[in-house]
Chains A and B, each alone.
Chain A
Amino acid sequence: MIKLNNVTKVYKGTVVAVRDVTVDIAKGEFVFLVGPSGSGKSTFIRLLNREELPEHGTIYVAGKDIGTLGTWRVPFLRRNIGFIFQDFKLLPKKTVAENVAFALEVIGKPRQVVRKQVPAILELVGLAEKIDNFPHELSGGEQQRVSVARAFVNRPPILLADEPTGNLDPQTSVGIMKLLDRINRTGTTVVMATHDRSIVDTMRRRVIELDRGEIVRDQARGVYE
């Protein structure tokens, strides 16, 4: 599903964010990216949805070399990748339903599809009752659930999450992780950058550890350290 071959990413010509990374992630895997701040986790994630391009190496997503994709094809790549932000990035003037619907509207989905899929995904994330609430009326955990719903409403085969529990308390984080686990069980590949030791240790999934841009550990059913 995802394959990186000798990928190196350098910022401003000198700062090496990712160094000679080679890794294979199979369809349906749940992968934690761990490591200290500045180790290259976020860059790794941004490389996968082509927010960044590597200086060296090749990246394949769903069998396509995304480094050679024309700019006009990048949006179509991203429709296959859901993205969850640490700070949720909900639109404050839109309701829960509108925030989720926005992700479908802007890729040109017909109204009847939007009307059908939005309530279904909000049911899945447990927010069916909050459909008309605005983000400021929700707790942090609920806001992140909306963010998850928005990322998954188009049913992408890959879900990327950059510190999705970073702004949440431990109990709320567990709820979000259960949700991601549920999504993963539908066959969706999940790649999640995190600092949250307890979550990694509890879930016991594949762990890729980065340090100064290099993979220092790649362990099936691993722990944080």
Chain B
Amino acid sequence: MALSPRYVLRETGQNLWRNVLSSAAAIITIGVSLWLFGGFFLFNYAVDNATARWEGGIEFVVWMQPDATAEQDANIRDSIDTSPAIKEWIYVDQSQTYEEFREIFADTPELIEVVSPDVLPPSYRVVPENPDADVVAELSDQFVGRPGVEEVVSADQTIRDIQRLADKVTRVFLVGSVILLTAATLLILTNIVSAIRSRGAEIEIMKVVGATNWFIRVPFMLEGLVQAVLGAMGAWVGLRVLDDTVIKGLSEPDSLQLMQGFRVDQGEFYSTSLLVLGIAIVVSGIGSAVAVTRYLDV
């Protein structure tokens, strides 16, 4: 026998209203924990974007002039390739640089429109054998001012410090969100158990007249789901504020040079939002499932 949507919505609404204070507590806890969880991902994305070119042990980048000759390019390549102090290197040509440019400025299509691959510099991204700052500085200096070289940029200590700080911050976000999500799961469970107890007489009647187990359980489970989805919606608002104020604020033109790549793409924001919703559904599913299987004897 099919569940009547009208019946399910009415019963779920009544359950939520009867426990309005504890429902609000659950929604707020879920919202804050999901905000922390989503913040962990947004912060990670932003740090990754800011330090993308320094990942994989890359310590300095030799930017070539866009119009460097093949001979100048071959000289630099030969120096890098034969240096015993260099462990490995990657050549990023103009079209790959253009792809990176498009990713970085995805939010400003007007800028992408006026830039073409031929005006962007190719680069050599170098992983030295020894990542010590002095060794890296000495090695990178060998390429400064050579024909065809536009600029040599090193990953200085500040970037490494930022990566370490970001690691710590995101870890705090993650641990905090896991603790709060556990609390949120328990709150959902408690709310549903309380709703089950306050509706003991109705449940008894339902069992006697032949309501199926799922007919009895679904409104309670939906109650947990509604709390979780409302919490997720609150978290979305919080994440939008986090992105618009903190993350975008750090990457303002007048902020530190190395923070200017600190940003979150729309795609990354939406995938984080979906993940937050998914976690909300899982949390409510666990809380509801334990409540209706352990405390609802049907």
Contacts and interface: CB of A to CB of B under 8 A. Distances in A.
B202 A75 contact: no
Contacts of A71: 213
A107 interface: yes
Given A105-B7, A108-B1, A108-B215, A89 B201 contact: yes
Contact of B210 (A77, A110, A150): A77
A102 interface: yes
Interface string B145-159: 000000000000000
Contacts of B207: 75, 78
19 contacts: A71-B213, A72-B213, A79-B209, A89-B204, A89-B205, A91-B205, A102-B202, A105-B7, A106-B205, A106-B206, A106-B209, A106-B216, A107-B210, A108-B1, A108-B4, A108-B215, A110-B4, A111-B6, A151-B209
A144 to B, nearest CB: 15
Nearest to B1: A108
Interface residues of B, number: 20
Interface of A: 49, 71-72, 75-80, 83, 89, 91, 102-103, 105-108, 110-111, 150-151, 154
A157 to B, nearest CB: 13
Given A105-B7, A108-B1, A108-B4, A75 B204 contact: no
Contact of A75 (B6, B205, B213): B213
B248 to A, nearest CB: 51
B209 A150 contact: yes
A75 B205 CA distance: 12
Contacts of A77: 210
Nearest to A85: B208
Contacts of A103: 205, 209
